[in-house]
Amino acid sequence: METSPRPRIASIMINAVDAGRLSEFWSVLLELPVAARHEDFIWLEASAPGTPQLAFQQVAVPTEGRRRLHLDLHHPEPAVLRRRAECLGARFVEGHDIGDFHWDVTQDPEGNEFCIAAD
């Protein structure tokens, strides 16, 4: 029996009322340059071959809802990454703990939530 290839996640798309500004925020925070622009779309380079690209789609009005998109970012020094994000315009929302594991919920400049935790 022949099996077909598995689908892969190619992009994680974020709706943005200012796609240029938001793509710049994420480009600097993640240290990933812009890979492509096409009309109302901007893609960042993938962090490694075969991994999803973060992408931005220009929209006229903000997408409704608290959790329009959710990314988990892990870093050896999560406090350093959080400070960097805040310097770029992110806002701390709340911290959480499960046992010894801690993560901070933050929002990018347009209110998209993401979490920062240790590796």
The pLDDT score that the predictor gives to residue 2 is 67
Query: Under CATH, what is the fold of the domain 70-119?
Result: 2,3-Dihydroxybiphenyl 1,2-Dioxygenase; domain 1 (3.10.180)
Structure tokens given for 72:
């988990």
- Coil/strand/helix, residue 84: helix
Structure tokens given for 26:
């994420």
The proportion of the chain whose per-residue pLDDT surpasses 70, expressed as a percent, equals 91
Q: Using 50, 70 and 90 to split pLDDT, how confident is the model at 1?
A: low
Q: Answer yes or no: are the C-beta atoms of 54 and 44 closer than 8 Å.
A: yes
Give CATH 3.10.180.10 domain extents, the chain. 9-61, 70-119
Assign domain 9-61 to its CATH superfamily.
2,3-Dihydroxybiphenyl 1,2-Dioxygenase, domain 1 (3.10.180.10)
Q: What pTM, to 2 d.p., does this model score?
A: 0.74
The pLDDT score that the predictor gives to residue 85 is 95
- Coil/strand/helix, residue 17: coil
Neighbours of 118 (CB within 10 A): 14
